[in-house]
Amino acid sequence: MNNNVRVRMAPSPTGFFHVGSARTALYNWLFARHHNGKFILRVEDTDVKRSSPEMINVILDGMKWLGLDWDEEYFQSQRLDLYRQYAEKLLDTGQAYYCYCDPQELEKERKEAYKKKINWHYDRRCLNLSPDEKEKKEKDGLPRAVRFMIPDTTVKYNDLIHGEIGRDSIDIEDFVILRHDKSPTYNLACVVDDADMKISHVIRAVDHITNTPKQILLYEAFDLPKPEFAHLPLILGKDKSKLSKRHGAVSLMEYRDQGFLPEAIFNYLALLGWSPGDDKEIMSCNEIIERFMLDRVNASNAVFDIEKLEWMNQQYIMVMDRDELITRSMPFLTKEKIYTNDLNQNKVKLRSIIDLMAPRLKVLADISKVRFFFSDEFQYDDKLMQKHCTKKTLDIMADYLTVFRKIEPFDIKTLDESLRTFADKNTIKAREIIHPLRAYVTGQEGGPGLFETMAVLGRDTCIRRIEKILKQSGHNV
């Protein structure tokens, strides 16, 4: 298959670029790169009313952010004449016919049949019109669509993921291939383009599996070679329901804005339905390309787990080069007005903070939790402060402050030893100082190691914040 593989991603710019579309694009890209083939981007923008340049840019930006480059680019809106020419071929050979029916009336019939639990197919009423009836409709200028006439046959094909699939023609109605406005429907445009672009493998979501028999019939009607088909399983939420926003199914670029790394999203999506054959989870792009094969795509539905994605993102953050992590974190620091990248700010301190925070970041947006490192203007947890501002605790902290002021050198080791020595001397547990001390200097209950945090904050900042809490509680300091 090497060099003969040609696959495509064919997004419709009528909505955001979601997880499902991103995985489909990724699997096509991986398959092409594994076989040294071509990955083609084909924007299916024939629905003029719903398509927009903004949505096209969202798709392109999402693919670029994920690292998916493409070898060729097409827009269906620029190929309308080609689709009409193919429809004319079917009309000329009697394999298609004009339909003058009102689409809204047909939809009304379909809904009425559904309510009565009756199967409804278009009854070929326009195919059976007499010449006089056709002539009258033409003279009246009635809008007309073009319907493909389903031959009396059974469609069978081998899906590379699901195995052999068959469908009787009796279950397929004569479907529209050109609308009243002469715009092509999905099935016609898809077949014409896949054949014209010499697509070797159609790898797409399983919800297209009902379209495949229709498209195979069109390939045969046009006497065109058929590609291989592979329909990817659904992506479900953890509760096994259809993936929705409450499961984390947001636009791909929202994951970027939340601070997910593209390499982590890439890695996670690759494993969302595909297995390399072992238990390995963290893999580089090149390793995934090398190992990616369609026969290892599971036919069962995949489950999207946002917690697993956060875990994977955290693994990438932890091993990332610190200078690179600072660069990628900077937009989140500046957005929260925590760090302005001003030359006067202490970049050495920022490096120390990043070193402390890296193992605790699930997403880069979590870096906003470091505000207390840069400013006294941070939010204290009210319940936490009530817990650690009892008279007993305040008295202990006031006594400890006299020792704290004299700690020398002000480093991790000495801070630790000093606190534990004070606790032993006063017959109290170390945690009776550690927990309130963290609350006073950071406003938080958790975070990086306390002594590491205070070493970065510095003596003056720590003393100032402890004094502030004690003064607010009526202690003389």
Question: Which domains are present in the chain?
Answer: 6-73+235-305 (3.40.50.620), 79-232 (3.40.50.620), 320-369 (1.10.8), 382-472 (1.10.10.350)
Quick one: average pLDDT of 65-92? Answer: 96
For residues 239 and 312, which has the higher predicted lDDT (pLDDT)?
Answer: 312
- Candidate list 64, 245, 337, 471, residue with the active-site label: 245
Give tens-digit pLDDT for 353-380.
Answer: 999 999 999 999 998 888 899 888 888 9
Q: Where are the alpha helices (DSSP H) in 320-444?
A: 322-335, 347-357, 371-374, 382-387, 391-404, 412-425, 431-442
**H or E element: which one contains 131?**
helix 131-139
Is 468 an annotated catalytic residue?
Answer: no
Give tens-digit pLDDT for 204-238.
Answer: 999 999 999 999 999 999 999 999 999 999 999 88
Confidence of residue 244 (pLDDT cuts 50, 70, 90): low
DSSP state of 345: S
**DSSP E strand stretches across 17-57:** 38-43
Residue 114, token pair as written in the block: 């559904």
Give tens-digit pLDDT for 17-64.
Answer: 889 999 999 999 999 999 999 999 999 988 777 777 888 888 999 999
Half-sphere exposure of 288 (CA within 13 A, CB side): 24
Per-residue confidence (pLDDT) for residue 357, from 0 to 100: 92
- What's the rounded Cα separation, in Å, for the pair 151 and 190? 20
| Residue 362 labeled ligand binder | no
Confidence of residue 248 (pLDDT cuts 50, 70, 90): low
Per-residue confidence (pLDDT) for residue 52, from 0 to 100: 78
Above 90 in pLDDT, residue 315? yes
- Round the average pLDDT of the chain to a whole number and report it: 92
Q: Where are the alpha helices (DSSP H) in 223-370?
A: 252-258, 262-270, 285-291, 306-319, 322-335, 347-357
- What's the rounded Cα separation, in Å, for the pair 96 and 88? 8
Per-residue confidence (pLDDT) for residue 343, from 0 to 100: 45
Per-residue confidence (pLDDT) for residue 345, from 0 to 100: 57
Residue 283 DSSP SS3: coil
Above 60 in pLDDT, residue 2? no
Per-residue confidence (pLDDT) for residue 457, from 0 to 100: 94
- What's the rounded Cα separation, in Å, for the pair 340 and 223? 64
- What's the rounded Cα separation, in Å, for the pair 30 and 39? 9
Per-residue confidence (pLDDT) for residue 247, from 0 to 100: 61
For residues 268 and 377, which has the higher predicted lDDT (pLDDT)?
Answer: 268
Per-residue confidence (pLDDT) for residue 246, from 0 to 100: 64
User: Which long-range contacts link 328-334 to residues 24+ away (Cβ below 8 Å)?
Assistant: 328/261, 328/364, 329/354, 329/364, 329/367, 332/259, 332/364, 332/365, 332/367, 332/368, 333/367, 333/368, 333/370
Q: Where are the alpha helices (DSSP H) in 35-76?
A: 53-66
